[in-house]
A and B are shown apart, each in its own frame.
Chain A
Amino acid sequence: MTTSLVRVSDLSIDLPLSGSEVVQEVSFTVAEGEILGVVGESGSGKTSIGLALLGFARDGARLAAGSVSIDGVNLLALPQERLRELRGATVAYVAQDPGTALNPALRLGDQLGELIRAHDPGRTRLEAAARLGQMMDEVGLPTDPAFLRRFPHQVSGGQQQRVCIAMAFLMDPRVVVLDEPTTGLDVVTQARVLALVRRMCTEHAVAAIYISHDLAVVAAIADRVVVLYAGEVVESGPRATVLQAPRHPYSRALLRAVPDLEHRRHLESIPGGAPAPGRRPGGCSFHPRCPLADDRCVSTPPRLLELDDAHQVRCHHADRTAGVAVAPPVLPDLSTRQSAAPALSVSGLAIAYANQVVLSDIGFEVSSGECLAIVGESGSGKTTLSRTIAGLVTPGAGTMTLNGQPLPAGVRRRSQDARRAVQYVFQNPYASLNPRKSILDILTQPLRVLRSLGREEARHEAERALARVGLSTELLRRYPAELSGGERQRVAIARAVACRPSLLICDEVTSALDVSAQAAVVELLRQLVDELGLSLIFVTHDLALVRALAERTAVLQAGRIVEIGQTASLISDPQHDYARSLIGASPSLTPSYADPDSHSYPKEAP
C-alpha cells in the first residue's frame, strides 16, 4: 500500500439549528487504489461523511470541526471556487439513485460533455468525443454516438449507473465517493456494477469510499471497512477482520442479522432502533441495545482502541468478544413435510398485456404449514403473480384452488370466506397503512368486514394479533407515522394474521427495512408458519433470505417458473442457467463468495 491519499481526521458535522451532532470525530484514511467500505444503518451519518469528502454539507448541516484532506490539502479550509474546481475533477461522487442523479432533459452525451467543458475548456470537441468513447468502452457501454444521443430514461437502470460511473471517472479523479450505487439494482446487475467499480478503482488507482448499509455488498468490494453507529466509528479494520472476527458488539449484532446464502441460520435482530441525531444517549451510544453493557458504558463514552493489524474498536468490553464466534449456529435446512392435500394449487396461470407476456403457464402447489419462496428480478412477474393469487389482478387464463375449493380470479368474485382465507402483505409498509387511521382502525376493519366481528370482539382480536407479532397493545391508539418501518410491517402482518388466513402472501415485505428489522420480520413469519400451520408465499429477490425461511423455492424469469424445488438443493445445486446466475450473483458474507476477484461476470448486453 502506498501512503494515504485521503485523510479524514476528527471530522464533526452538526445541525446548528437544533444543536445536535450528526457525525462526531470521525477519522479514517484511504490509500491510492484502495476501497474503503463505510457501513451503517440509516441515520448513522454515512451519507453526511460521503458529502463531506466533497467539502459539502447538506442544508441545515455544518462541517463543524476536523479536516478532510486530499493529497495534503484540507478541503474544509478551501474557498468555494476552489472546491467547485475540485468537485467532479479531483473528487467524484456517484449517487444512490442514477435515475435522479442524471438530468432527464439532457442527452447522455451532453451530460458527460458538460463535465469536460466545465473542467477542461481547452479540449477540442473532437478530443472530448474521443475521451467519451474511451470512457464508454471502459464501463462496458456501447461506444456508438447513437447511444450518447439517448436520454436517461431510454436506458436501463444498470446502464444509467454505468453512465454515472463513467461520469465519475471521466476527469481522472483521485478520489471517488460511491453512495450505495447498487441499492436500486437487481442482484445480477448489482454484481456486474460491483465488479465494474472494483475494476475501475484498481485500474485508475483512485482512493474509493464505498458507502452502504448492506454488509454483503461491502464484503464483495471493500479492502477495509469502517462501521458507523450514531455518527461515530465503532469499528474499523481490514475487510476480513471486521466481517469475520468483529469485536464491537454492534458489528457483531449486525452480522448476526444478515442472512447467509450458504447455510440456514437463525436471524437475530438487534433490540430497539438506532437513535436519531439529537437523541443519542450518553456514554457509549450503543449501550441501550448492547448485551454487554454495564454501568461504565452508561457513564463513560469509550475511546477508539487500537487492536492488532490496524483494527480499531470503540468498546469498553472489546476483550470479552475476542475469539467468540460471530455467526449463529447452523440450523438444518427446511424441507417439506408430508402433507395430505395442497392448500393452494395454481395451474396454467397466464397474463398478457397487448403484446407483452407477463406470466405464462404458471403452475405450483403450496401445502399447509409450508413456505414457498418466489424469487426473481424486477420485471420477472413475481409481484403480478402474487397479486393475481391475492385477487388484485385478473389473469387471462388458469385456475386456482384453495383447500379443495376453486378460488375465483379477482377479489370481487370471491366469497367473504375466500377473501378472509387469502391475506396479502404489501412490500412498502409506508404505503400500505392508511396514514389517517389509527392502528386500532387499521387492525379492526378487516375483522369487522371479513369475520363480521362486533366492535369489542374486533378490538380484542386486534390486541391478540399485536401481541402475536410482538408489539405492545399501546400501539392501538397510535398512527402509522409514529411507528418505525419494522413496526409498521409487523402491524401489516398482524392485520393479515388476525383474519386467520390459510394462505399468507408476502410481497418483498422486508425490502424497505434495515437488516435488523428484516431479521425480526423473517423470524416472525417463520414462527407464524410453524405455529399456525398456514401456507406462506414469500416473494423476494434475496436468495439468502429464502434459505432462512422457505421450504421450497420457485425461480421466476420473464413470467415463467424456470426452476422449482427444495430450497437447500436449489441453492446448492441449481439446474437452470438463470437460477445459477442468480445464485452466483447474490452477494454473500461467506469467504468463498466474498472474494471479489473469484467471480467475473459477462459485460451487460447493451
Chain B
Amino acid sequence: MTDHQSVSAPRRRARGERFPTLRRAWRYGHTKAGLVLLVLVVLMAVVGPAIAPHSPTEFVGRPFAPPGQGALLGTDSLGHDVWTRVLYGGRTVLWTSIAATVIGMVLGTTLGLYAGFVRGAVDGLISRSLDVVLAFPQLVLVLLFVSMLGSHLWLIVLLSGVAIAPGVARVSRGMTMDLATRDFVRSAELLGLGRTRLLFGEVLPGLTSPLLVEATMRLMWSIGLIAGVSFLGFGVQAPAADWGLMINENRNGFSLQPWAVLAPVTMLGLLASGSGLVAEGLSRALALVSSAEMNP
C-alpha cells in the first residue's frame, strides 16, 4: 500500500476554509435545532398575515372565549381572534430586534476596533463612555429616553442598538488588541495604508467569527428587550397586534383564557431560544477553530 499524496500534502487536516467556524458549527445539533426554530418563527411572522383566518382587529366573539367556535386559540380581552393576532404579532418584534442588533453591532464593532487599535487616551475615552451606558440596565435606559422623547418605534430601535453596543465593543476591542500586534497588520502598514483600511481590511476579517457569535447572542437579548418595552406599553400601540403587547393586554384574563398569554409567550420563547441555540453552536465551533488556529 502506498500513499504518494501524503508526502506532498501532510497538512490537509488544517484546511483554511473561508468560513471554518460556520462549517464546524453546522455539525452541532444546537445550531441545527436553533436554525429550525428561527426559520419556523420567521416564516410564521412573514407569511402569517396572509394565512390568518380573520383581521387582527375583527371581533370574532366575546372577550376571553376559550378555544373553539371559529377561534383556534380562543379570543383575547377585546374578543379578537388570538391565533390571528399571533400570526400578525411577530413582524414588528422581528424587524425591530434585527434592526437594533445591526445598529448595535455596527456601532459596537467600530468603536471597539478604534479603541483597540489606537489605545491610549482615545481608548480610555471610548471605553469609559461605554461603561457609563453599560451601567444602566438596558430596559431603564430605553424607558428613560422613550419617556422623555415619546414612544416612537425608531427611537426604541435606536436605543436598543445603543444599549447593545458596549458589550459588542468590548469583544471587538479585545480581539483587535490581539490582532493589531500581528505581523500581517505591520505588513499592510508597510504599504502605507491608512488606519481605516488597516482596521476594516486587515483586522475586521479576523473578527467575523466572534462577532457572528456576538450577533446571535445580542439578537436574543434585543428580542427580550423590545418585547419587554412592548409589554410595558411603550412599543407598538393597540389595536395593532404584537406579542409583547398581547401578553400585557391579556394577562388579566389568564385564568379564564390562558392561551391569549401562552401563545405569544411561546412564540417569543421560541424566537429567543432559537437564536440562543445558534449562538451556542457558533461559540463552541469558534472555541475549537480558534484553538486550532493558535496551535498550528
Q: Which residue numbers of A lie inside 8 Å of B, CB to CB? A: 43, 272-276, 279-283, 288-289, 298, 390-392, 411-412, 414, 416, 419, 423-424, 426-428, 430-437, 445-446, 449-450, 478-484, 495
Pair A432/B187 contact, Cβ less than 8 Å? yes
The complex places the Cα of A426 from the Cα of B188 at a distance, in Å, of: 12
Q: Known A431-B183, A433-B184, A434-B202; judge A390-B191 contact (CB<8 A).
A: no
Residues of B within 8 A of A (CB): 1-4, 6-8, 10-18, 182-184, 186-193, 202, 205-206, 208, 293, 296
Contact assessment for B3 and A424 in the assembled complex, using a CB-CB cutoff below 8 Å: no
Instruction: Give chain A residues whose Cβ lies under 8 Å from the Cβ of B6.
Output: 275-276, 279-281, 288
Residues of B within 8 A of A275 (CB): 6-7, 10
B296–A481 touching, CB < 8 Å = yes
Decide if A424 touches B2 in the complex (CB within 8 Å). no
Asked if B7 and A289 sit within 8 Å, CB to CB, the answer is yes
In the complex, which residues of chain B have a beta carbon less than 8 angstroms from the beta carbon of A428?
183
**A450 and B191 within 8 A (CB):** yes
Does the CB pair A419–B191 fall under 8 Å? yes
Closest CB of chain A to B203's CB: distance in Å?
Answer: 9
Are A434 and B3 touching (Cβ within 8 A)?
Answer: no
Known: A281-B4, A298-B2, A434-B184. A391 touches B296 (CB 8 A): no
Which one of B2, B4, B14, B184 contacts A482 once the chains associate, using CB atoms below 8 Å?
B14
Q: In the complex, are the beta carbons of A478 and B16 less than 8 A apart? A: yes
B293 touches A481 (CB 8 A): yes
Max count, chain A CB within 10 A of own CB: residue among B4, B15, B186, B202:
B186
List, sorted by A's number, 27 A–B pairs whose CB atoms are closer than 8 Å.
Answer: A43-B10, A275-B7, A276-B11, A279-B3, A279-B6, A281-B2, A281-B4, A281-B7, A282-B1, A282-B2, A283-B2, A288-B4, A288-B6, A288-B7, A392-B186, A392-B189, A414-B192, A416-B192, A419-B192, A424-B187, A426-B183, A426-B186, A428-B183, A431-B183, A435-B184, A435-B293, A484-B10
Tell me what chain A mostly uses at the interface: helix, strand, loop, or mixed. Answer: loop
Q: How far is the CB of A193 from chain B (nearest CB, A)?
A: 26
Q: Are B3 and A281 in contact (CB under 8 A)?
A: yes
Q: Which of B8, B12, B205 contacts A434 (CB 8 A)?
A: B205
CA distance A495 to B1 in the complex (A): 39
Bound form: Cα–Cα A279–B3 in Å: 8
The residues of B that contact A273 with a CB separation of less than 8 Å are 7-8, 10-11
Beta-carbon contact of A481 and B15 below 8 Å: yes
Contacts of A445 in B (CB 8 A): 188, 191
Chain A residues, Cβ within 8 Å of B206: 434-436
Q: Is the CB of B205 within 8 A of A424?
A: no
| Contact partners of A274 in chain B: CB under 8 A | 10
Which B residues are in CB contact (< 8 Å) with A390? 190
Residue of B nearest to A273 (CB): B10
A449's nearest neighbour on chain B, judged by CB, is: B191
CA distance A433 to B296 in the complex (A): 14
Closest 7 CB pairs of A and B: A479-B16, A481-B16, A279-B6, A436-B205, A432-B183, A288-B7, A434-B184
Complex: A431 Cα to B202 Cα, angstroms: 12
Q: Which partner residue on chain B sits nearest A279 by CB separation?
A: B6
**CB-CB < 8 A to A450: which residues of B?**
191-192
Tell me the smallest distance from the CB of B199 to a CB of chain A, in Å: 13
* Residue from B13, B187, B191 whose CB has the most chain A CB atoms within 10 Å: B187
| Contact status A430-B296, CB under 8 Å | yes
Closest B residue by C-beta to A427: B183
Cβ contacts under 8 Å, B202 to chain A: 434
- Known A-B contacts A426-B183, A434-B205; A419 and B10 likewise in contact (beta carbons under 8 Å): no
Residue of B nearest to A423 (CB): B190
> Chain B CB within 10 Å — which of A280, A288, A478, A481 has the most?
A481
Report how far A416 CA is from B191 CA in the complex, Å: 8
A316 to B190, CA, bound (A): 52
B190-A391 in contact (CB<8A): yes
> Are A392 and B190 in touch, CB under 8 angstroms?
yes
With contacts A281-B3, A282-B2 known, what are 19 further pairs, Cβ within 8 A?
A: A273-B8, A279-B6, A280-B6, A282-B3, A288-B7, A289-B7, A416-B192, A426-B187, A431-B183, A432-B183, A433-B184, A434-B188, A434-B205, A445-B188, A450-B191, A450-B192, A479-B17, A481-B15, A482-B14
Q: A308 to B39, alpha carbons, bound, how many Å? A: 74
**Chain A residues, Cβ within 8 Å of B188:** 434, 445
Q: Which of A414, A423, A434 has the most CB of B within 10 A?
A: A434
User: A492: nearest residue on chain B (CB-CB)?
Assistant: B187
Q: Which residue of B lies closest to A442 (CB)?
A: B184
Q: Across the interface, do A437 and B7 meet the contact criterion of CB distance under 8 Å?
A: no
Taking the nearest CB of chain B, how far is it from the CB of A359, in angstroms?
Answer: 19
Report the Cα distance A433→B184, complex, angstroms.
5
Asked if A482 and B12 sit within 8 Å, CB to CB, the answer is yes
B16 to chain A, nearest CB (A): 3
Q: How far is the CB of A182 from chain B (nearest CB, A)?
A: 22
Shortest Cβ distance from residue A312 to the other chain B in the assembled complex, whole angstroms: 25
A431 touching B10 by the CB < 8 A rule? no
A419 to B191: give the CA distance in the assembly, Å: 7
Question: Quick one: closest B residue to A424, CB to CB?
Answer: B190
Nearest CB of A to B239, in Å: 50
Are B10 and A435 closer than 8 Å at their CB atoms?
no
> A434: which B residues are within 8 A, CB to CB?
184, 188, 202, 205-206
- CA of A449 to CA of B189 in the docked complex: distance in angstroms? 11
CA gap between A428 and B187 in the complex, in Å: 12
Highest count of chain A CB atoms <10 Å: which of B10, B14, B208 = B10
Q: Using Cβ atoms and an 8 Å threshold, which residues of chain A touch B192?
A: 411-412, 414, 416, 419, 449-450
B193 / chain A contacts, CB cutoff of 8 Å: 449
Give Cα A89 to B3, complex, Å: 44
**A432 and chain B: residue at smallest CB distance:** B183
Which of A282, A289, A495 lies at the interface centre, i.e. has the most chain B CB atoms within 10 A of its CB?
A282
Q: How far is the CA of A10 from the CA of B191 in the complex (A)?
A: 55
Contact with A272, one of B7, B14, B15, B186 (Cβ below 8 angstroms): B7
User: Which residues on the B side are within 8 Å of A426 (C-beta)?
Assistant: 183, 186-187
A288: chain B residues at CB < 8 Å are 4, 6-7
The chain B residue sitting closest to A289, CB to CB, is B7
| A478 closest partner in B (C-beta) | B16
